[in-house]
Amino acid sequence: MYTFRKIGSLILTASILFAFGSCGKKSGNESRTTGWKYNDPENGGFEVAKYVEQEAGPGLVLIEGGTFVMGATQDPTIFTSNNKPTRITVRSFYMDQTEVSNIDYLEYLHWLRRVFGSKYPEVYKKALPDTLVWRQKLAYNEPLVTNYLRHPAYKYYPVVGVSWVQANDFAKWRTDRVNEQRLIDAGIIGLDLNQHDEYNFNTEAYLLGQYTSQVEGKSPIDNLAYNPEDANSLEFRTSRIEDGIVLPSYRLPTEAEWEYAALGLIENSEYERISQRKKYPWNGNYVRTTDKKYYGTFVANFKRGRGDYMGVAGALNDGSDIPTEVGSYFPNDFGLFNMGGNVCEWVMDVYRPNTFDDWDDLGAFRGNIFQTQVRDQNGFVDVKDSLGRIRYRDVTVEESENRKNYRKSNNIDYLDGDFASETRTDNNWNSQSPSDTTRMYNYGKTSLINNQARVYKGGSWKDGAYYLSPSVRRFLDENEATDYIGFRCAMDRVGSPMKGRK
pLDDT at 254: 98
> How far is 380 from 471, CA to CA, in rounded Å?
45
> How far is 442 from 424, CA to CA, in rounded Å?
13
Higher-pLDDT residue of 74 and 49 is 49
Q: Quickly state the pLDDT bin for 289 (edges 50, 70, 90).
A: low
pTM of structure = 0.88
Residue 325 CA, chain-centre distance (Å), reads 22
DSSP E strand stretches across 426-496: 453-457, 473-477, 485-486, 490-492
Q: Quickly state the pLDDT bin for 246 (edges 50, 70, 90).
A: very high
Q: Could you tell me which of 246, 251, 250 has the C-alpha nearest to residue 203?
A: 246
Q: For strand 485-486 and strand 344-350, is the pairing parallel, antiparallel, or unpaired? A: parallel
Class of domain 49-186+245-367+451-492: alpha beta
Q: Is the pLDDT of residue 420 over 60?
A: yes
pLDDT at 397: 93
Average pLDDT of the segment spanning 13-39: 61
Q: Is the pLDDT of residue 229 over 60?
A: no
**Which helix (H) or strand (E) segment is 273 a member of?**
strand 273-274
Average pLDDT of the segment spanning 133-158: 97
Write out 131-181 in H/E/C secondary structure.
Answer: HHHHCECCECCHHHHHHCCCCHHHCCCECCCCCHHHHHHHHHHHHHHHHHH
Q: Quickly state the pLDDT bin for 220 (edges 50, 70, 90).
A: low
Q: Is the pLDDT of residue 19 over 50?
A: no
Number of neighbours of residue 270 by Cβ within 10 angstroms: 8
The DSSP 8-state label assigned to residue 55 in this structure reads P
Q: Quickly state the pLDDT bin for 221 (edges 50, 70, 90).
A: low
Secondary structure of residue 224 in the 3-state scheme = coil
